[in-house]
Amino acid sequence: MSLPLPRRAHVNTAQTRAPSQLKKELLEEQKQEIREAFNLFDMNNDGYLDYHELKVAIRALGFEYSKQEVLELIREYDRDDRNQMHYEDFFAVMGEKVLNRDPLEEIRRAFRLFDDDNTGKISLRNLRRVAKELGENLTDEELRAMIDEFDLDNDGEINEEEFIAICTDN
């Protein structure tokens, strides 16, 4: 379903910033991540995302946009009065966002994925769940050994500070 949007002056920054320049700055895995997010939600494979597809594709890349922000993106990059965003524009906009990610915020976001019970710590149960979701067949002894190796305050769990130290080699 397409929402009617008021038109704004169209300034296509994807065209002013050559996609080849952006692609050179992104790592291959980052480019692949953007392509996969787009392709996963381009339900009819037409090279465009409508409002709902765009919102979930952005979220799949780890960004939270409000309804208004998504609508503004569509308004700004709507090429053909389709109320949709084309792949090239999506790649340019999301590529810029990916390049400007805060590494520390990425680590904190990863921590929150482990800490699904919002205790502020990664417990054996949390680690067991993540290992299972990733298809890793690890025993509780192996998981406990991982926790023990990085549990600097010896409380039996990994807090956010310890997790950041693990991820940054500090």
pLDDT band at 170, cuts 50/70/90? low
Query: How much is the pLDDT for 11?
Result: 39
Query: How much is the pLDDT for 16?
Result: 40
Which of 5 and 20 is assigned the larger pLDDT?
20
For residues 61-65, average pLDDT: 88
pTM score, two decimals?
0.58
- Which DSSP helix (H) or strand (E) runs through 45? none
pLDDT band at 131, cuts 50/70/90? very high
**Structural domains of the chain in order of their starting residue, each with its CATH number:** 19-100 (1.10.238.10), 103-168 (1.10.238.10)
pLDDT at residue 144 above 50?
A: yes
pLDDT band at 105, cuts 50/70/90? confident
How far apart CA 151 and CA 166 sit, in angstroms, is 10
The DSSP line for 80-102 is SSSS-EEHHHHHHHHHHHHHT--
CB 147 within 8 A of CB 130: no
pLDDT at residue 59 above 60?
A: yes
For residues 45-62, average pLDDT: 94
How far apart CA 136 and CA 9 sit, in angstroms, is 51
For residues 63-92, average pLDDT: 93
